[in-house]
Each structure stands twice: as C-alpha cells, then as structure tokens.
C-alpha cells in the first residue's frame, strides 16, 4: 500500500510525495527523507547554505558541511546528487565551470567543459550540399562532446575536506533506493519520453510503462553502479574500464564518435578567473571558453557611467540603456569568443575602458539601435543547465554552473551505465551564419576542432564588497545566462534590491541577433509600450533563467534565495 502525502510548497506549487517507505539517505541527526521533502525558496542562514535546482541536492550539500566539509565538499556532493535527482541538467555526461574563492582570497576556476572528440571536424554537421543538419548536432549520439563533469569533480577534490567516497554516497543512495519525483519532473519526463526512446539504444530508467506522476519513485540502478565504480576507482571508474567501455559501445550502436582514447585523455583545466570592478564592487567571473565573464564585464562597464539607479527599475530609460549594452556585447561574442587554447580571445581589449567607450559612442538614448549597423567592434591587435551557489562558515564561496546543454542533453542514455550524454556539440558554430539552438551565431573563433571546447554562456559569478565575500550567483538559460547575471547585479547594486527581488523580478533579453527584445510575461506593460515607440521589436517569452543567489547581509547572515521559476530550493544551517 502506498501512502500519498500532498505537500503544499512555497510559491503555491504542490506535488504529491510517495512516503511508502521512509529511508533516510544521509546519516545520523539531520536525516534527509527522499520521499518527503519540501521546496524552500529562501532563508537567512548564519553558518552555511546552498541553493540549487532541487531540494534534495541542496540538502545533501548542507549535510556534507554539517559533517565537517567546506563549500567545495558541498559543491561536489550537490552536483553528484543533482546528477541523480535532476536528470534534465544535473549530470555525469555533461560539463561545467566551477568558480571558487577560498576564505584566504585564493581564486579557483575549474573548466570541465566538454571537448570535441578526436574524430570531430569542422564540417561534420554539413550535408553534401553544405546545409547544416542541426538534428545531428542537437540530439543523438553525434551531438555529444567528451563529458567533463567527472574530471571537474575530481579536480575540485583537493580543495575539499571529506573523501570522495563520502561525498558520492548520498547520490548512490538516491539512485539505488530511489526518490520521489516532483510534478515538474514527472511532466518533463513524460514529454521527453519519445525522444529518449528514439535516441537511446537500450531501455532506461527514465522511461516507464505509462505516464510518470508526481510522487512516483525514480530508481536508477545502472546509474548507481556507475557512481559506485567512481567511488571505488576514482575518475578512472568513469573515464576508463567498464564505464568507458559502456560509453563507447553506446557510441558504436548509434552514430557516435567518442572513443576510449577521447575519454582517457580528457582533463579538466584550471583557468584564471576574470576580475573587474563595477561601482566599487569587485566582480569575479568565468573566462573563456565561457563568454559569460567577458559579456557581464562589457555590459556592466558600458552602463557604469550612467546614473542607472536614478533612472528607476525597469523604466524605459534604464531598460533601453541596458538593452543597447547587451546588443553590443553579444555582437562581440559571435565574432571574438571561443576556446582560448585554440583561438586567441582578445579578453583584455574587449573589457578595456577605451574599447568600451568606443563601443558606446553611437548609443542614442530613446532610440532603438540596429543590429545591422551595430556589428562586432573593431579590434586592433596581433534551456537546460543548472547552477548551484554555496557559501560556508569560513567564508569559502563556490559557484558552479553545469549542463548537458538543453533539457536531458542528447536524450541518449548510455546503455548499462544509466546516465545521459550531452548535446553540447551544438554550442560550436556548426556553420558560419547558422544559429544554434539558442539563436547564437559564431564563426572561426568557435569552429569545431578535435580537442577544442565549445563556447559557453555559463557565468558562475562572485561579488566582493571591500574585499569581503558578498554574493555568489549564477543561472542556466543558454545565451540568456549573462543577461540574467548582469541584471541581478544591476538590481542589487543600482536598485538596492534584496536578493529575492534581484533574481525574481521580471527580466528582458537582447542578444544582438535576432534584433528583438525578449521579455518575461510579467514585464512592465507601460515600459514595453515605450520601448516599442522607440523602435524596438518586443516579444514575450517564457521564464528567463533559474538563478540561485547567496548574499551576505550586514549582520553576517547568508541571505539565500532559489529562483521562483522551478523546483529550485535552498538549504542551510545556523549554529
């Protein structure tokens, strides 16, 4: 007999949970019940906190800190838990970026972005007439880059305090014993069902007879076995041996090209974070192969000389200025950004004061610019990702954005290994002038080359105030990611908002091409009309981003907020 409990969640959403057998997944004291949990949208915590896309994952992160771990332990354990409880974007088969700041001020950037396999080549998605075949770059075996996440987790381990064995155990339990799925998860698994069947060559735990419903238990035995191999053998338990063999066999059953050597040779890379100032705050963000850090640096610097705060939040005046900064920065993204190990990205120039001044020289207040006249600058020189924010008692700050690309990635579940592969190859420029699934364009800088990492928009970001930890922030959302982070920072700094409003107020997005302003449904109607009368094309779209933010308050507490747009949830603890 199954007992069904109805839980009413914060923000009015609800789902049913199956409390059939209550087993906790994390030990003594603060047990986590995977069949009965609640979405918590915000909290002020004096010790440590986590915000992530799923309540169970946030609770796992906090449990590791209670056990004596730090923010890096929490980031590892939360990502592993997300790979189980949030299969749409949490992952072993994807990649990401971790940005950390240790309490002693040391900055850490770990790039575990997927890379193009050795057999990849620049025209691999063109048919014989030279037409782009986006169906191949966006789904199925050929869409996957070499997964980077597991290498990233092990590259983070030296900064953590607990053993990997301990950090992976909650994820193993969640996969092996199962957990109750939310209504949102049930509905997205149902709507992806046909795509899983089409793109996988073996049955998977994500597809079941009939429809998923809220409260059903999702058990993933094969995924648990993969996690156990990692627990026993470290990263070799993923990149070599049984797991690698299963990935390559999956590739051979489809039309994939990832080889045993591709997996064995993959490494995470340390990247120097990008640092700049905005109105006296120090901003730290991710450098290429993310475009995110450069974009937010450009956009914030472009608006810095204007008194944005006095224009008012979401007035036509402030929005128009911010849009024109977005237009110019995104035009540069298409031209100048790619993997810095393969293409010289002119980072310093792009964020220099002189260049920013020149980029805004043709800005006209109250008149829409045009993306046919605003192109990339002149340089003279030789929807599913997931983000988690963590802060601990010592003052370590960690921001991680990780992804399979869109929801459930390539939709290919590795037969016998139980994890989804990414469809990140679509983030390369498949053909100059052909937009990817987020409408982003690119050229030489982001062309496919074996071993190269595809350009990303992921923007894990930290803010310091007078050199002290202030904010950890980031979000999914494809090309809208830098926009969301940019607007969160402006909301905090220029409009003096609290963390909740900074991420949950309506957003707008312009990415150069298409030449339009996309706005969320609750965007101010009057401002929309005024923008239209200035000459902007304004279109409505669904939610922009799912941001997780932690902000240190004057009393030292960590104001932790999860985006209202999903099942995102915070957890934390007091003394």
Residues that bind ligand DON (CB under 6 A): 383-385, 403, 405-406, 424, 427, 456-458, 476-478, 481
CA distance 390 to 284: 15
Nearer residue to ligand DON within complex by CB, 383 or 392: 383
Nearer residue to ligand DON within complex by CB, 132 or 458: 458
Handedness of CA 246, 247, 248, 254 (dihedral sign): positive
Burial label, 539 (beta-carbon count in 10 A; 0-12, 13-18, 19+): exposed
Nearer residue to ligand DON within complex by CB, 9 or 295: 295
User: Shortest Cβ distance from residue 545 to ligand DON (Å)?
Assistant: 8
Over its C-alpha atoms, the chain yields an Rg (Å, rounded) of 22
Nearer residue to ligand DON within complex by CB, 111 or 559: 111
> How large is the angle between the packed helices 71-85 and 149-156, nearest 10 degrees?
160
C-beta separation of 306 from 287 below 8 A: no
CA distance 198 to 414: 13
User: Shortest Cβ distance from residue 567 to ligand DON (Å)?
Assistant: 14
Tally of helices (H runs) and strands (E runs) in the chain:
18, 21
User: Shortest Cβ distance from residue 105 to ligand DON (Å)?
Assistant: 28
C-beta separation of 55 from 15 below 8 A: no
Nearer residue to ligand DON within complex by CB, 111 or 383: 383
What are the residues whose beta carbons fall under 8 Å from the beta carbon of 107, sequence distance 6 or more? Answer: 99, 100, 101, 272, 273, 275, 284
Residue 201 annotated among the catalytic residues of the structure: no
User: Shortest Cβ distance from residue 555 to ligand DON (Å)?
Assistant: 34
Bridge partners of 275, per DSSP, are 284
Cβ-based neighbour number of residue 313 at 10 Å:
18
Nearer residue to ligand DON within complex by CB, 182 or 406: 406
CA distance 101 to 396: 6
Nearer residue to ligand DON within complex by CB, 94 or 254: 94
Residue 197: its H or E element: helix 183-199
Which is catalytic among the residues 16, 78, 385, 527? 385
Helices (H), 102-207: 134-138, 149-156, 164-177, 183-199
User: Shortest Cβ distance from residue 447 to ligand DON (Å)?
Assistant: 17
User: Shortest Cβ distance from residue 80 to ligand DON (Å)?
Assistant: 20
Bridge partners of 290, per DSSP, are 456
What are the residues whose beta carbons fall under 8 Å from the beta carbon of 228, sequence distance 6 or more? Answer: 172, 237
User: Shortest Cβ distance from residue 422 to ligand DON (Å)?
Assistant: 8
CA distance 359 to 541: 28
- Integer CA distances (angstroms), 264 to 45, 96, 118, 165, in order: 41, 18, 12, 21
Positions marked active-site = 385
């Amino acid at each position: 007999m199954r007992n069904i409990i109805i839980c009413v969640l914060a923000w009015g959403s609800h789902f049913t949970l199956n409390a059939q057998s209550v087993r906790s997944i994390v030990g003594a004291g603060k047990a986590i019940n995977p069949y009965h949990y609640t979405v918590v949208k915000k909290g002020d915590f004096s010790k440590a906190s986590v915000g992530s896309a799923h309540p169970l994952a946030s609770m796992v992160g906090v449990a590791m800190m209670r056990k004596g771990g730090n923010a890096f332990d929490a980031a590892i354990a939360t990502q592993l838990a997300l790979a189980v409880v949030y299969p749409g974007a949490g992952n072993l088969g994807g990649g990401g970026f971790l940005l950390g700041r240790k309490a002693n001020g040391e900055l850490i950037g770990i790039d575990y972005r997927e890379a193009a396999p050795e057999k990849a080549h620049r025209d691999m998605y063109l048919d014989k007439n030279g037409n782009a075949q986006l169906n191949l770059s966006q789904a199925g075996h050929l869409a996957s880059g070499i997964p980077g996440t597991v290498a990233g987790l092990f590259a983070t381990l030296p900064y953590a305090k607990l053993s990997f064995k301990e950090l992976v155990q909650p994820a193993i339990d969640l996969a092996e014993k199962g957990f109750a799925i939310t209504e949102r998860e049930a509905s997205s698994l149902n709507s992806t069902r046909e795509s899983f069947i089409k793109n996988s060559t073996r049955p998977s735990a994500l597809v079941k007879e009939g429809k998923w419903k809220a409260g059903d238990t999702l058990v993933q035995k094969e995924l648990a076995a993969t996690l156990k191999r990692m627990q026993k053998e470290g990263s070799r338990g993923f990149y070599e041996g049984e797991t690698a063999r299963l990935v390559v066999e999956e590739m051979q059953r489809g039309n994939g090209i990832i080889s045993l050597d591709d997996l064995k040779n993959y490494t995470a890379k340390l990247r120097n974070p990008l640092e700049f100032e905005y109105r006296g705050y120090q901003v730290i963000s991710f450098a290429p192969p993310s475009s995110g850090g450069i974009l937010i640096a450009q956009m914030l610097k472009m608006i810095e000389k204007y008194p944005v705060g006095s224009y008012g939040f979401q007035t036509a005046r402030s929005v128009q200025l911010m849009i024109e900064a977005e237009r110019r920065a995104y035009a540069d993204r298409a031209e100048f950004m790619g993997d810095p190990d393969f293409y010289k990205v002119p980072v310093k120039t792009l964020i220099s004061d002189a260049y920013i001044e020149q980029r805004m020289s043709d800005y006209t207040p109250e008149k829409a610019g045009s993306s046919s006249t605003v192109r990339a600058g002149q340089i003279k020189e030789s929807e599913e990702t997931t983000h988690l924010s963590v802060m601990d008692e010592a003052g370590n700050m960690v921001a991680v954005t990780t992804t399979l690309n869109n929801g459930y990635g390539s939709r290919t579940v590795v037969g016998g290994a139980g994890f989804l592969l990414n469809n990140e190859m679509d983030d390369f420029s498949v053909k100059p002038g052909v937009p990817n699934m987020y409408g982003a364009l690119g050229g030489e800088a982001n062309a496919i080359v074996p071993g190269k990492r595809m350009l990303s928009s992921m923007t894990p970001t930290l803010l310091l105030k007078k050199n002290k930890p202030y904010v950890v922030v980031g979000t999914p959302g494809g090309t809208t990611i830098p926009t969301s982070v940019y607007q969160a920072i402006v909301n905090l700094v220029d409009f003096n908002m609290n963390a909740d409003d900074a991420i949950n107020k309506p957003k707008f997005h312009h990415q150069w091409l298409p030449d339009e302003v996309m706005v969320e449904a609750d965007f101010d109607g009057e401002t929309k009309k005024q923008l239209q009368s200035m000459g902007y094309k304004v279109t409505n779209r669904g939610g922009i981003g799912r941001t997780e933010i932690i902000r240190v308050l004057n009393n030292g507490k960590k104001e932790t907020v999860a985006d209202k747009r999903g099942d995102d949830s915070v957890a934390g603890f007091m003394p």
